[in-house]
């Protein structure tokens, strides 16, 4: 394996969901050509990795793990097109190179999270704020904005110097920085990392027996110093002894850019996933292409934006970058230029740009061959039959209950509400006030897959599950108002088998 250190595997420490890290990982893998690729993630997901090469798999997506006996106990591992882990997975699958997850199993992590929540309830006042290593590095460099520092040192890195030093230079520098941070902060307020890293070291030993040192490891840069640490197998196994465990199931589910913008999964929320996707997809002339995209959005909203506006906005962004001493215009410069040139100083249209483009409204897709609970399969079938596609954007639909398709849509949405799956909420209609019309406000969030898994205990179809849930709620009802409200929900959801139990 060319370009690797004198001994040991190739450790590629990354920032989760960082387009600069993703490009660097691809270049490093191309240069090193490892015999295997190991990824930070739950090993139960290994069987699902081939689906990442499916043509119908479109990021953002996430691995969803949930406890079989308690589906509400769940965790997500999200991947975007610009996630280094996703790039590494796709690289390996395209070359028939073995690829595996090496983090602590979901069976352990789900059980440990439940224990950790109980501990937090007991010691909430004494909890320390976990260290954000990227923020510490940014502050050390004199930046008060983490994203701006990351853009300057990674996303806008001048290609010449990086190429001269080789594709591994950035990883070596980041590894040294993380080593210094780990020496100063220890586990940095992440006590579970000690256990996770022990498990990962064991997986590295196993891989070394099969591939020697000719394999690559893609993980959060924070973990690299710990994976380099010389420990004994006995010591690492001792850290794993007696860990709580639950039976877990995993699958792929669609994810959204909006969810990437929150702290979830790998513990690395990013503020601007739409912007990062743009940087990854358009490394050449990113500012000009971004301004063109913004202009298109504003025109769709009936705002006058000409080609001259685009040209002037690009010039202003580049001028601002030069004045601020930045290598290239970043998100802050482009945003300031858009506000001044295209939005006439108004923050109202700028908020639209932030929501639709900077964050983004993309909802990923997974192939039908991905595992799913029977209730999810029935729901997906009905969504397609009724042409009621789940979307990340909030939208309103008007239903005419005199039409068969609209009546079926209404029944589906009401049944989901009985099950506690809040895909749709009734809204005030803008038109007729007759009883044959309904207005619904819809928005699909990835967490609803967990709600569907939870509701799977009631039945394998939406109708059967909603009926069983309504009957159970009726038996538990203690007040007349509860029974009356439940009867109304059963009528709206068309649950004839549940009504006799409710009215008993």
pLDDT of residue 78: 94
Among 77-91, 148-162, 228-242, 252-266, whose mean pLDDT is lowest?
A: 148-162
pLDDT of residue 303: 95
pLDDT of residue 258: 87
pLDDT of residue 311: 98
Domain boundaries, the chain: 10-274, 284-360, 374-503
Considering 26-40, 157-171, 173-187, 479-493, the range whose residues carry the highest mean pLDDT is 26-40
Q: How far is residue 427's CA from residue 435's CA, in Å, rounded to a whole number? A: 14
Label residue 264 by pLDDT band (50, 70, 90): very low
Q: Which pair of structure tokens corresponds to residue 134?
A: 């990227």
pLDDT of residue 132: 84
More confident residue, 120 or 308: 308
Give yes or no for a cis peptide into 322 (omega within 30° of 0). no
Please give the average per-residue pLDDT across 150-159, as a whole number.
Answer: 71
Tell me the percentage of the chain whose pLDDT exceeds 70. 91
Indicate the DSSP class of residue 432: -
Count how many Cα atoms sit within 13 Å of the Cα of residue 59 in the half-sphere of its side chain. 23
Tokens 């394998």 locate to: 460
3-state secondary structure of 62: strand
Residue 157 pLDDT exceeds 70: no
- Across all residues in the chain, what is the average pLDDT? 90
More confident residue, 148 or 285: 285
pLDDT in tens, 331-379: 999 999 999 999 999 999 999 999 999 999 899 999 999 999 899 999 9
pLDDT of residue 121: 53
Q: How far is residue 355's CA from residue 297's CA, in Å, rounded to a whole number? A: 11
User: Residues 255, 78: contact at Cβ < 8 Å?
Assistant: yes
Alpha-carbon torsion, ordered 274, 277, 279, 282, to 10 deg: -120
Label residue 14 by pLDDT band (50, 70, 90): very high
Residue 390 pLDDT exceeds 70: yes
How many residues in total does the chain contain?
Answer: 504
Give yes or no for a cis peptide into 60 (omega within 30° of 0). yes
Q: How far is residue 98's CA from residue 211's CA, in Å, rounded to a whole number? A: 10
Alpha-carbon torsion, ordered 226, 156, 289, 340, to 10 deg: 110
User: Residues 246, 112: contact at Cβ < 8 Å?
Assistant: no
Among 26-30, 38-42, 433-437, whose mean pLDDT is lowest?
A: 433-437
More confident residue, 206 or 261: 206
Residue 3 pLDDT exceeds 50: no
Q: Which pair of structure tokens corresponds to residue 332?
A: 């802050």
pLDDT of residue 162: 46
Per DSSP (E only), the strands in 363-408 are: 395-400
Residues 6+ away with beta carbon under 8 Å from 434: none
Please give the average per-residue pLDDT across 119-131, as a whole number.
Answer: 57
Please give the average per-residue pLDDT across 33-40, as a whole number.
Answer: 98
Tokens 């940014």 locate to: 138
User: Residues 57, 252: contact at Cβ < 8 Å?
Assistant: yes
pLDDT of residue 128: 59
Residue 79 has a CB neighbour count (10 Å cut-off) of 30
Q: 3-state secondary structure string, 206-223?
A: HHHHHHCCCEEEEEEHHH
The helix (H) or strand (E) run that includes residue 501 is helix 499-503
The helix (H) or strand (E) run that includes residue 61 is strand 61-67
pLDDT in tens, 434-483: 678 999 999 999 999 999 999 998 999 999 999 999 999 998 888 889 89
Query: How do beta strands 248-254 and 61-67 pair?
Result: antiparallel
Tell me the percentage of the chain whose pLDDT exceeds 90. 69
pLDDT of residue 384: 96
């Amino acid at each position: 394996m060319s370009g690797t250190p004198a001994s040991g595997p190739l450790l590629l420490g990354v920032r989760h969901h960082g387009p600069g890290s993703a490009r660097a990982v691809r270049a490093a893998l191309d240069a090193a050509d490892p015999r295997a690729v190991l990824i930070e993630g739950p090993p139960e997901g290994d069987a699902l990795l081939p689906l990442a090469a499916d043509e119908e798999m479109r990021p953002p997506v996430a691995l969803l793990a949930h406890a079989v006996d308690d589906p509400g106990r769940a965790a997500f591992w999200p991947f975007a097109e610009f996630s280094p882990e996703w790039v590494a997975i796709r690289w390996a699958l395209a070359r028939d190179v073995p690829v595996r997850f090496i983090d602590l199993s979901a069976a352990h992590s789900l059980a440990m999270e439940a224990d950790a929540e109980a501990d937090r309830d007991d010691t909430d006042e004494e909890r320390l704020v976990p260290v954000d290593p990227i923020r510490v590095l940014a502050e050390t460099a004199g930046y008060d904005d983490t994203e701006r520092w990351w853009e300057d040192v990674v996303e806008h890195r001048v290609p010449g110097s990086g190429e001269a030093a080789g594709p591994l230079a950035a990883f070596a520098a980041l590894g040294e920085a993380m080593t210094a941070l780990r020496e100063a902060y220890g586990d940095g307020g992440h006590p579970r990392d000690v256990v996770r890293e022990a498990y990962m070291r064991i997986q590295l030993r196993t891989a070394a027996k099969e591939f020697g040192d000719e394999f690559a490891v893609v993980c959060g840069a924070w973990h690299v110093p710990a994976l380099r640490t010389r420990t004994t197998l006995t010591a690492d196994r001792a850290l794993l002894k007696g860990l709580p465990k639950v039976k877990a199931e995993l699958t792929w589910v669609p994810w959204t850019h909006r969810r990437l913008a929150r702290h979830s999964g790998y513990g690395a929320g990013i503020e601007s996933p739409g912007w990062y996707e743009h940087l990854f997809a358009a490394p050449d002339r990113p500012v000009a292409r971004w301004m063109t995209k913004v202009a298109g959005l504003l025109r769709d909203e009936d705002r006058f934006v000409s080609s001259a506006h685009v040209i002037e906005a690009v010039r202003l962004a580049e001028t601002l970058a030069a004045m601020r001493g930045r290598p290239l215009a970043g998100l802050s410069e482009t945003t300031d230029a858009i506000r001044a040139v295209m939005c006439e100083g108004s923050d109202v249209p700028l908020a639209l740009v932030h929501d639709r483009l900077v964050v983004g409204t993309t909802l990923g897709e997974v192939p039908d061959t991905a595992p799913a609970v029977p209730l999810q399969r029935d729901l997906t079938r009905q969504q397609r039959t009724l042409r009621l596609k789940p979307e990340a954007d909030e939208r309103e639909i008007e239903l005419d209950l005199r039409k068969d398709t609209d009546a079926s849509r209404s029944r589906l949405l009401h049944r989901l509400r009985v099950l506690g799956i809040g895909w749709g909420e009734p809204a005030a209609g803008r038109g007729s006030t007759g009883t044959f019309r309904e207005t619904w406000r819809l928005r699909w969030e990835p967490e609803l897959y967990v709600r569907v898994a939870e509701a799977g205990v009631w039945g394998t179809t939406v109708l059967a599950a909603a009926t069983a849930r309504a009957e159970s709620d009726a038996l538990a009802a203690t007040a007349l108002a509860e029974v009356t409200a439940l009867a109304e929900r059963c009528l709206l959801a068309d649950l004839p088998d549940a009504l006799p139990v409710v009215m008993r």
